[in-house]
Amino acid sequence: MSEIIDPLTQAKEWQDQGKKVALATVVETWGSSPRPPGSQLVVNEDAGFEGSVSGGCIEGAVVTEAMDVMETGVPKLMEFGVSDAMAWEVGLACGGTVKVFVEKLEA
């Protein structure tokens, strides 16, 4: 019986394999959201991911954004919620709001 793979450990392993990696971290939540601040999702250049920032509803959008961030190296603060009107809006089924910080894991 082993522990669930730690996202940061996974990020390091992917980088060791020569892959580009981005880290996504929940930094703020309002209302009912499934994962608390500090929860992390790590993404590699093949769109492989480990961890979570929600119950599964916004991971797809975060992975897409993370692919962009690992190319540009410019960190990004994403916000998801019921009243969100941005182009990449993805509603949270639970009705909460969540802010996710996405950054590249630099060499």
Nearest distance, CB of residue 92 and another protein, angstroms: 17
Q: Which residues from 40-69 bind another protein, rule CB under 8 A?
A: none
**Nearest CA to 105 among 37, 27, 43, 26?**
43
75 vs 82: CA distance, rounded Å: 24
Alpha carbon distance 76, 10 (integer Å)? 21
Looking at 33-41, 50-58, 78-86, 90-98, which segment touches another protein (CB under 8 A)?
33-41
Assess contact for 103 and 22: CB atoms under 8 A: yes
Residue 75 is a binding residue for another protein (CB under 8 A): yes
Q: Which residues bind another protein (CB under 8 A)?
A: 1-4, 8-9, 11-12, 15, 23, 25, 27-28, 36-38, 75, 77, 101, 103-107
